[in-house]
Each structure stands twice: as structure tokens, then as C-alpha cells.
Amino acid sequence: MDPILAGDLADLPELLDETRHAAAQVLAGLNDRPVARPSDGNGADSTVPAVGVGLRGALREFQQRWEPKLSGSAGPRFLGFVTGGTTPASIAGDWLTSVFDQNAFTTMDSGAAELERETVGWLGQLFGLTEHTGAFVSGATMSNFVGLATAREWLGERMGISVAQSGVGALGQVHILSGAPHASIYKGLAMLGIGRDQLRLVPTQSGREAIDIRRLTDALDALDGHPSIVVANAGTVNTVDFDDLRAIAELKQRYPFWLHVDGAFGAFAALAPEHARLVDGLAAADSVCVDLHKWLNVPYDAAVQFTRRRDLQVQVFQNTAAYLGIPTGAPDFVHLVPESSRRLRALAAWFTLTAYGRAGHREIVQRNVAMARRLGERLTASGLVQLLAPVRLNVVCFTLADRPTAERVQALTHAVAESGETFLTPTVYDGKPGLRAAFSNWRTTDTDLDRIYDAITAACIGLDQES
Ligand SMILES: *Cc1c(COP(=O)(O)O)cnc(C)c1O
């Protein structure tokens, strides 16, 4: 054994203690770490070490060279994209995932996959998807991909073919309808050989991102009995708008379509009784995407996909030689998802659900929503900004009250980021440039809300002084 590697093995308990100490210091300083640290693009151009420095040396080098460049995105005031942090139990679960280093692709040699099944079952209960089966994937993009791949196979089934065997060319034209889909839906269609251009946007209700049910009905009617895929959105990223899932599901009685619901973060509305009506009808979906590294507050990378047709999913993702036949019963995860070998990413979710339960995670959702509403009210009252949409759940979408030009909104985005106090991401909604503040971190408190409000209003005022 390499002597440096052997030395690390001999010192492993102490080295892990030092790493744990370093981690605890980072977490203790999270509140003061600059929220965003845009990359300067320098520093990636160096030579691979010829001889190593051991774990202790590597830790020191990381702390000197790279740690200062990492953002406080796990902290309470990072409101860009939809981000979320990591609960204490999820960090422990994530660490132990690496310690055990299980390959959760099969049940042949370990109970790891069973733990994953238990966790998927718990998540199904949280979201009311108890008739669905599911699996962990690396993020909502992959979850949407698996849902769309299964939908594609269903289209084939309607024609008496298997797309997985015959190729997508055998399908002919594919009809996909959606109101305000996430970018990852287009990416999924590109990966599936269906093509981004096949997605037909159905008009949304006026002033909303929720699909216009009458226009969807017209679009389905025009297909003249041809099967299609409808992608419903349960929480759009701009304004967190929700399609009427129950009304869409009812259309299945009249038209043949696969209903995929992208509930990446919006599905968490189901955890709180006062918000659950937003996802009423979710259980009627044929496939559902839920992200976990966002609102469940587990580390990257984790999401879950749910389906009602595991048999079709297996047709697509089976990893056995054709002569062995298609796996039946409860197929191993290797037959259900794009990956073959895969880490036990369910463990972090298992830890946080065991540690905090339904009540703990409901409280995070409720607090984040309350904060988004309060920020929306306070910003409106300041007169400096105007909301571009009502705060329906956990995102405040707003723009400058005075001259909301693209340049001024961009300057505001930069000024907020440079404050180091909070981080918001820009958007264009209804043709208007704006900003989004997305609350999904378990750490965010009232004190943080004050700091966020102060940072945004100071940046608005600074802008007016400059121009
Ligand atoms: C974040 C998000 C995605 C993509 O999720 P990743 O985890 O980044 O792959 C898809 N859909 C919606 C609605 C999202 O918010």
C-alpha cells in the first residue's frame, strides 16, 4: 500500500474527527458566509499532484484554496433558483451513505435497496401517492426524464409496439401538451429523441402560469383520438402557479393521454393542510416528479420519481439481456432508472424523515410560505418594488416600481448579490424583467427576513442614487 494511504488508514479516526471539526466550523459560520460568490473562473488550471499530501494535507489545501470560493447557498438567505439546505439529520445520512458505500442497484447482496423502498413509500405517503411506485434519481430533471420515457413507452403500447425495442422512429409524430413547463421538460424530450419542438404550448389563463383548461380541451379534441402526453405543472418556478390537476385528470375520461406532473417543489404543498388544495388531484397522475434536494432539505443530489406503470418503466430501463426476460415482481432499481450502479441516496432522506417526521417537514414548508408572504407584503409596502404575481406559495416574484427596465433590474440583481446578504435570481415574467426570491431553506428565521428585506430595499435605493 502507498505509505501515505497506509498512514491515513492508521490515523482514520483522528482524521475523521478533524474533518468533522472543520465541517462543524463551516456550519457554524454559515450565517456570516457571503451568500453568493460568483466564480472568477481562475484557479482550475493546475497540475495533478505527482505525490499526495495525505488527507490532513488535502483538507488544509482545500481550506486555503477552495473553501473561500464556496458560497453560503446552504444558509438561510440564499433565495436564488429553488435551493434548500441540508437538515442536520440529512447531513449525517449523507456522510453515512459514503461510509457504507452501498450499491443500491440490487437486493442480491445488501438491504440497501430495501431501505430505499421504505423511504420511497414514506415519500409516497407524504404526497398522497400510495398507489404509485417509485425510485430515487439524481434530481428533478432525471425524474421528469423517467416520467417522459415511461410516457413514450405508453404511446408505443397504444400502437402495439415497444419504443424501447423499436426506437422512437416507430412512433411517428409525438404530441406533447403543456402550459408553462420547466426547462428540464424540453431537455428530457431532447434526450428521448422526441425533440424539443414537439412540445406544444397550450395557452395559460390570463395573467397566470396555470393552463387554461378550455384551451387544453380544445387541443386534445383537435388530436382526433390520437394518444398524447400532457405535462401538468404543480409549482412553476416564476410564480409558483399550479395547473388544476383534478380538472386535467378528469379529461382522461374523454381523451387518451399520459398525465405527467412536474411537482418538483410544489408537491410539498401537500404537507400543509392549508396549502394542500394546490395539489388536489396529484394522485391521478400517471407519473410524478418530486425533487428532494430542494424543499426536503437533503444534500444534492436527490429526487424521486413516481409511476403507476412500473411495467412500462421496466421495459425502458431494464438492464438484463433480452433472453432473460423482463424482470417481474418487485424489480431491482437497476431496471427502473437510467443509472445502473448508484449510491444509496435514499439514506439522507430516510434520516431526515426519521428525525423530524411529517410534522417537522410540514413546519419548514409552513414557515417558508409565511416568510415569502411577509416579504411580499413588506416589499410592496416599501413602494420600491411591485409584485409581478401574488405570492401563492414560497416565491416572491417582483420588479422595480420605478422604470423596471432590463438594465435596471440587472443592476439590482448584481447589487443584491454583491451585498453578500442574500441572493436572488433574475427572470422575465409576462414580458417583464424581474427577480425571484424563493424560500425553501429550513434555517431561515425572522431575523433573516429582516436582513433580506434590508438588503433588497438598500439595493433599490442605491440604484436610484446612481441613475
Ligand atoms: C428545479 C426544478 C426542476 C429541475 O430540477 P433539478 O433537480 O435541478 O434537475 C424541474 N422542474 C421544476 C418545476 C423545478 O423547480
Q: Tens digits of per-residue pLDDT, 405-455? A: 999 999 999 999 999 999 999 999 999 999 999 999 999 999 999 999 999
Output the domain CATH number for residue 396. Answer: 3.90.1150.170
What's the gap in Å between 447 CA and the centre of ligand 1? 28
Domain count for the chain, please give it: 2
**What's the N-to-C CA distance of the chain in angstroms?**
65
Distance from the alpha carbon of residue 184 to the mean position of ligand 1, in angstroms: 7
The band of 74, judged by pLDDT with boundaries at 50, 70 and 90, is: very high
Separation of CA 266 and ligand 1 centre (Å) = 10
For residue 236, give the ligand 1 atom closest to its CA: 13
Kindly write down the DSSP assignment for every residue of 345-383, as one continuous string: THHHHHHHHHHHHHHHHHHHHHHHHHHHHHHHHHHHHHT
In 197-326, where does DSSP find H-type helix? 213-222, 245-250, 310-317
Query: Is the residue at 265 inside a domain?
Result: yes
- Tell me if 44 is assigned to some domain: no
CA 254 – CA 220 distance, rounded (Å): 9
Reported as a single tens digit per residue, the pLDDT across 27-70 is: 999 999 999 988 877 666 789 999 999 999 999 999 999 999 99
In a 3-state reduction of DSSP, which class is residue 249? Answer: helix
Q: Residue 146: inside a domain, yes or no?
A: yes
Pairing label, strands 303-307, 133-137: antiparallel
Kindly report the pTM of this predicted structure.
Answer: 0.97
Closest CA to 89 of 349, 441, 366: 349
Residues 215 and 106 in one domain: yes
The verdict on residue 157 lying in a domain is yes
Give yes or no: residues 77 and 201 share one domain.
no
Task: Examine the fold and report which residue of 299, 316, 342 is the final residue of a domain before the chain moves on.
Answer: 342
Q: What confidence tens digit (pLDDT) does each residue in 126-154 have?
A: 999 999 999 999 999 999 999 999 999 99
Residues 145 and 184 in one domain: yes
Residues 6+ apart with CB under 8 A from 319: 334, 335, 340
In this structure, the answer to whether residues 153 and 70 fall within a common structural domain is no
The answer on 82 and 160 residing in a single domain is no
Domain boundary among 274, 308, 342: 342
Asked if 239 contacts 278 with a C-beta cutoff of 8 angstroms, the reply is no
Residue 449's pLDDT is 98
Q: Which three cell numbers stand for residue 244?
A: 388544476
Q: Whose CA is nearest to atom 14 of ligand 1?
A: 264
- Pair (378, 267) in one structural domain: no
**How far is it, in rounded angstroms, from Cα 359 to Cα 363?**
6
Average pLDDT, the chain: 96
E strand segments, 21-145 = 133-137
E strand spans, 138-250: 176-178, 199-201, 228-233
Question: How many percent of the chain have pLDDT more than 90?
Answer: 94
The range of the structural domain enclosing residue 329 comes to 102-342
Residues 289, 167 share a domain: yes
Give the residue from 313, 342, 371 where a domain finishes: 342
Percent of the chain with pLDDT over 70: 98
d(CA 423, CA 29): 17
- 175 CA from centroid of ligand 1 (Å): 22
Rounded Cα gap, residues 77 and 422, in angstroms: 5
Residues 309 and 415 occupy one common structural domain: no
Distance CA(461)–CA(251), nearest Å, equals 50
309 lies in the same domain as 382? no
Burial (Cβ within 10 Å: 0-12, 13-18, ≥19) of residue 56: middle
Q: What is the pLDDT of residues 189-248, one digit of tens each?
A: 999 999 999 999 999 999 999 999 999 999 999 999 999 999 999 999 999 999 999 999
Is 179 in the same domain as 240? yes
Q: What is the CATH number of the domain that holds 337?
A: 3.40.640.10
Ligand 1 neighbours, Cβ below 6 Å, are 82, 139-141, 144, 182, 184, 235, 237, 262, 264-265, 291, 303
Task: Answer yes or no: are the C-beta atoms of 338 and 128 closer than 8 Å.
Answer: no
Looking at the domain assignment, is residue 351 inside a domain? Answer: no
Domain check: are 157 and 303 in the same one? yes
Most confident of 163-167, 322-326, 463-467: 163-167
Q: Is residue 93 part of a domain?
A: no
CA distance 271 to 365: 7
Q: Measured at the alpha carbon of residue 424, what is the angle toward residues 441 and 299, in degrees to the nearest 5?
A: 35
Are both 366 and 333 inside the same structural domain?
no
Q: Does residue 352 sit within a domain?
A: no
- Judge contact between 290 and 304, C-beta under 8 A: yes
Q: Is residue 198 part of a domain?
A: yes
